[in-house]
Amino acid sequence: DAMVIQNPRYQVTQFGKPVTLSCSQTLNHNVMYWYQQKSSQAPKLLFHYYDKDFNNEADTPDNFQSRRPNTSFCFLDIRSPGLGDAAMYLCATSSGTQETQYFGPGTRLLVL
Amino acid sequence: QKEVEQDPGPLSVPEGAIVSLNCTYSNSAFQYFMWYRQYSRKGPELLMYTYSSGNKEDGRFTAQVDKSSKYISLFIRDSQPSDSATYLCATRDRGSTLGRLYFGRGTQLTVWP
């Protein structure tokens, strides 16, 4: 089945230690999104790629970076995680910015 | 004011009850409306997708949009314990080139047997 896959499902890191979260998709969608979702809160869009074009949300901290080496893969890099970065990180894809977004299962990040 | 407001609940109902979940939004430019279901520690799953005002039915689920009052609803008939999840409403405008979705914070629903 076509799907959005996120690895790892759970990630524990230390305060200030860089961490990379991975997303891959078999849907061949042009657009890939990264969201941050804290407990009992709405998902918050961090940035998205339309093909190789990167779009950063104005309030996304510089600590968060992203890479998309090809259509199938997208990475979220957190350069120096703080305690406030502990959250669920959701990857989503869509065939265009006007189309429905499909979410992966998420990576739950814990910062010690 | 947030773009989308949603009562977080929690909402607890017995099996077989009719559930009503609601959101309000502030931007009259929003034209596409979605409901996502999110099980605990999982990603959101698209449940319903509607355009503009009106009703859309899919099995036990009915999505309703009233653009005049900026009010969106999801009704679940004959609710089941497997419906226990957090339900997120989301919306976006027609002209958005960024595809940004505006989410409510989600309503946590528990259906007990």
pLDDT for B53 equals 83
Who among B97, B98, B105 is closest to A42 (CB)?
A: B105
Q: How far apart are CA B73 and CA B64, in angstroms?
A: 5
* pLDDT tier for residue B54 given thresholds of 50, 70 and 90: confident
Mean pLDDT of chain B: 90
pLDDT for A1 equals 62
* pLDDT tier for residue B101 given thresholds of 50, 70 and 90: confident
Domains of chain B by residue range: 4-112
Q: How far apart are CA B8 and CA B87, in angstroms?
A: 9
CB contact under 8 A, B106 and A40: yes
pLDDT for B1 equals 62
Query: In chain A, which residues have their Cβ closer than 8 Å to the Cβ of B41?
Result: 88, 106, 108
Instruction: Give the DSSP letter of residue B60.
Output: T
**Mutate which of A3, A33, A40, A102 to disrupt the B interface (most B C-beta within 10 Å)?**
A40
Q: Which CATH architecture group holds B4-112? A: Sandwich (2.60)
CB contact under 8 A, B41 and A98: no
Domain membership flag for residue A91: yes
Domain membership flag for residue A87: yes
Best mean pLDDT range from A61-75, B2-16, B49-63, B97-111: A61-75
Domain membership flag for residue A111: no
pLDDT for B87 equals 97
CB contact under 8 A, B42 and A43: no
* pLDDT tier for residue B45 given thresholds of 50, 70 and 90: very high
pLDDT for B98 equals 60
Q: What are the two backbone dihedrals, phi and then psi, of residue A60, each rounded to the nearest 5 degrees? A: -75, 125
Q: Which residues of chain A have pLDDT under 50?
A: none
Tell the burial category of B36 from Cβ atoms under 10 Å away from its Cβ (0-12, 13-18, 19+).
buried
CATH number at residue A26: 2.60.40.10
pLDDT for B3 equals 87
Total of domains in chain A: 1
Three-state DSSP at A77 gives strand
Decide if B82 touches A, using CB distance below 8 A.
no
Decide if A5 touches B, using CB distance below 8 A.
no
CA distance B43 to chain A (A): 4
Decide if B106 touches A, using CB distance below 8 A.
yes
Decide if A11 touches B, using CB distance below 8 A.
no
Q: Residue A100: which domain range?
A: 4-104
Domain membership flag for residue A26: yes
